[in-house]
């Protein structure tokens, strides 16, 4: 409470510490956010390190500032070579949303506010995060997606997206997952990525390979294929492998459903 009182005094221009109930709630959330940032960094700061709430708050506030600086640096590094591949949602989120966040984010009095809806869906779920912690993790995953996609020819990526859906540009879907799904077909069949298109014989062969497997077993099979993919084309990047693995459960379900209806060709498009 003393920290909240001090923040209220500064918030009002060092005139008084009387604020509305809503503002007091906001400032309390600010203090708790910073304390939680310290705890997330160090592991239950108050219990493990036996420090005061004020020390945890001040340390957490510095962590928030560092994350904000890291986000700005990451964005500056990403944007010169950034490609949206025609996805309007991805383009607007990165080129408009992130700069708006960096401009409006108030790390002193409202670090807990995310400000953005982050409409472009990524493969990983950060449901427990908010503020700069969420946006930084989000941007780190966008960077992984860019690294993954830029390893391929632009026209190859766009061709997969168009075959996935003619109007993919306006879908609120993750384009990385669309491309990954197609590449998993190549890896499971040991088919070189440069050999585009799946013959009926190849699709039937894949059905035979997976015919007796459950969704969980298909996911395990996909995971092994993903490890071979990242080892062969991405210098065994573990961060990328862990991120892309977040998209495998949905791909496994789609493969199982399409396989049961003998229409894998609708899933593996190129």
What values do phi and psi take at 59, rounded to 5? -65, -40
Give the closest residue to 33 by CA, choosing from 101, 139, 134, 138. Answer: 134
Q: Are 85 and 154 in contact (CB under 8 A)?
A: yes
Q: CA 214, CA 241: separation in Å to the nearest integer?
A: 22
pLDDT over threshold 80, residue 262: yes
Q: What is the pLDDT of residues 193-202, one digit of tens each?
A: 888 889 999 9
Tell me the average pLDDT across 131-144. Answer: 98
Decide which of 109 and 5 is more confident: 109
Locate 196 and state its tokens: 């585009």
Q: CA 2, CA 94: separation in Å to the nearest integer?
A: 39
Tell me the average pLDDT across 45-73. Answer: 86
Q: In the predicted model, what is the mean pLDDT of the chain?
A: 91
Instruction: Give the pTM.
Output: 0.92
Q: What is the pLDDT of residues 22-33, one digit of tens each?
A: 888 888 999 999
Give the closest residue to 207 by CA, choosing from 162, 258, 243. Answer: 258
Tell me the average pLDDT across 44-63. Answer: 78
Decide which of 65 and 269 is more confident: 65
Of the pLDDT bands very low, low, confident and very high (cuts 50, 70, 90), residue 149 is very high
Q: Are 133 and 38 in contact (CB under 8 A)?
A: no
Q: Name the most confidently modeled range: 37-41, 47-51, 211-215.
A: 211-215
Q: Where are the alpha helices (DSSP H) in the chain?
A: 2-11, 21-42, 45-49, 53-78, 88-92, 98-104, 131-149, 154-164, 175-188, 200-210, 215-233, 238-245, 248-260
SS3 for 133-195, per residue?
Answer: HHHHHHHHHHHHHHHHHCCCCHHHHHHHHHHHCCCHHHCCCCHHHHHHHHHHHHHHCCCCCCC
């Amino acid at each position: 409470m003393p920290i909240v009182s001090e923040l209220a005094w500064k918030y009002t221009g060092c005139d008084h510490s009387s604020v509305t109930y809503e503002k007091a709630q906001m400032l309390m959330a600010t203090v708790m956010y910073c304390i939680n940032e310290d705890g997330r960094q160090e592991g239950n700061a108050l219990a493990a390190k036996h420090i005061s709430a004020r020390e945890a708050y001040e340390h957490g506030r510095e962590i928030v500032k560092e994350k904000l600086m890291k986000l700005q640096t990451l964005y500056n590094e990403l944007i010169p070579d950034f490609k949206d591949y025609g996805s309007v949602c991805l383009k607007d989120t990165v080129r408009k949303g992130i700069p708006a966040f960096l401009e409006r984010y108030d790390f002193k009095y409202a670090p807990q506010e995310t400000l953005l809806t982050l409409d472009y869906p990524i493969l990983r779920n950060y449901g427990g995060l908010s503020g700069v912690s969420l946006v930084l993790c989000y941007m780190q995953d966008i960077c992984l997606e860019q690294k993954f996609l830029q390893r391929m020819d632009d026209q190859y990526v766009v061709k997969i997206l168009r075959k996935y859906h003619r109007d993919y540009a306006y879908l609120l879907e993750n384009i990385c997952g669309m491309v990954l799904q197609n590449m998993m077909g190549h890896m499971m069949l040991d088919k070189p990525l440069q050999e585009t298109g799946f013959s009926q014989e190849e699709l039937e062969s894949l059905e035979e390979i997976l015919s007796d497997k459950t969704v969980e077993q298909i996911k395990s099979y996909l995971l092994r294929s993903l490890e071979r993919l990242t080892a062969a084309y991405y210098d065994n990047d573990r961060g990328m492998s862990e991120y892309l693995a977040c998209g495998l459960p949905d791909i496994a379900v789609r493969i199982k459903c399409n396989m049961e209806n003998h229409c894998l060709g609708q899933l593996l498009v190129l």
